[in-house]
Structure 1
Amino acid sequence: MNTWFSLPPRRLYTWRAPQDRPGNIVRNQIDFVLVNKRFSTTVSRAQTYPGADVPSDHCLLTISIKLKLALCKVNKGQIRKLDTSKLQQEEIKSDLRNKLNQKLEHIKGQTDQQPLEVWETVETTIKNVTIECLGYEKRRSKKKWITDEILQLMDKRRQHKNTNHDEYKRLNSLIRSDIRKAKRKWLEGECKEIEYLQQIHNTSEEHKKMKEASGMYKKRPPGIYTDDTNKFIIEANEKKQLWEEYITDLFADDSREGLKDNQFSESLSGPPILREEIKKVVMEAKDHKATGPDGIPGEVLKLIDNDNIDVLLKIFNYIYNTGHFPRSWLRSTFIPLPKNSNA
């Protein structure tokens, strides 16, 4: 690698002969760094340091390597995500809204079920209707504007490589044209979303979306865990213990200690949750966020009409008054359940 770079002679020679004098320069390049061809492009510089304090007639030879190793992920099963990008199409969005509200209207008329049983029915209904109308995301190219049609043309172009030059050239021109159109259409959609974020004064998401559209956005590295003494936490068990302590302190409620059979007194109950409160929280939820344990995107909940919000209202007030909630809402196994709870 130290023969690949164009550097001054003083950065290239690796050995100085015993007869080397100011008037008699005898210096050669006899030491080399061998790098596998696969990683040869990771070397950014190779040079010697003649002034290094080394007790030898050989010079210190160093190379700079920028290496990014692949992250080995454990396959825990593929998590399929719903294709919420289809909601930008008014026809699909309207169809999903109509089917969803028709199903919820039918569920609202059933009064013989318990609230938690109603939630299981609502959760299953929303999932089934959403999957039917939107489907799951397909694995695409890294470029978001590449469509399935363009990928099919690329496969077809690959078949004519080194066999039919004219057809390959024609398909290549067609692909380049379609890519320009698809990218222009994608940018128009991004601009509309940026304008919407500007109208609702969501500046953080607006700037994030602008950086994504311009190719300047980079994901932040994961946070570093520290304890109360600012000591770094690396082990998985220590991280789990830290989260357990955080959740315990976050949901600690001394006023509920001593209550038996999970029965809350009237003094601990507040005013009921209102329909307007639920509607406000749902409408202010950010789009394109990871779903909760139920797997329902926030964009789908925004399509529920005001009349059908009563289904959620009944469930939330029941949870608020009794403390019982569906077990599927638990994200982790170390969150303790209330004693004698039916959840």
Structure 2
Amino acid sequence: MASDHHLVVAVVRTKLRAYKDQVGRPAHKFNVHKLKEKAKAEEFRTKLRNKFCVLEHLREETIEEQWSSLRETWKTTCKTIVGKKIKHKEWLTTDTWALITERKNLKDTINQTQDMVEKQELQVRYWEINKEAKHSAQRDKRRFIEELTAEAETAADQPNIKGLYEITRTPSGKNSNPSRSVKDKNGNAIATEDEQRARWAEHFKETPNRPAPPTQLLDINTNPSSKAEIKIIKAIKSFKSGKATGPDGIPPEALKANIQNSTEMLHPRSHQDLRTRTSTNELEVKTPCKAAKER
């Protein structure tokens, strides 16, 4: 039977559409791990307190405008002080990171170069650096695994079950007890074990002989907390650290960095919001009764 139809064979691939968050949540996580450092945490509290003092002197706004101002205050402070969270592989050495940085700079230079001859020369250099960076990363990871294996064998022979358990969790990136680096007085990390021991000895010699702090009055609120403030404090303390941010984009660690200041910022807004809701409910309840009396 004659027909003008033709058989068409095709391969169809489906791809899920990328979801874009429309609620203002940042696309990246803040490096809230820096808030564990005393100097960084104090800087964060001071900057947040100063911004809150500026907000107090602004004109009266609605609940939505006030919450928007508070939310932007927390987010901008986190962005300025702690910055964006960047994942680093702990087994990579300084030389490997130098090669990775050089490779990234070469990639940017290649994208900006218009001359084809120069671009080909840069691409050849980029391929060499890329190969060196990959080989260096492989050597670092192999050395890191060998060191972990030796530590695991030592822990199993002692026996140290807790240490063995933490070592086996380290390659999966789920180490719950990361070791903190020892730093000198200038804030630079100390690599060798002998220098770390010398720094600890210096620290304990200076700590008992530290001069007495100057006597000064501290700006501490000694007034008893109200029931609303106590509820806000309990709510902030109940937040779990290390969790993803909500629609407001504020990490829990930012609220828990200074619970007193966070309570002072949130308490007037919650009181006003509660008062607004109460007045609205009273209107809704009283209006039918008033109408019934008029009848």
TM-score class normalised by the smaller sequence? 0.3 to 0.5
Higher helix proportion (structure 1 or 2):
2
Q: Which has the higher contact order (CA 8 A, sep 6+)?
A: 2
The structure having more radius of gyration, on CA atoms, is 1
Q: Compare the two structures and name the one with the higher strand fraction.
A: 1
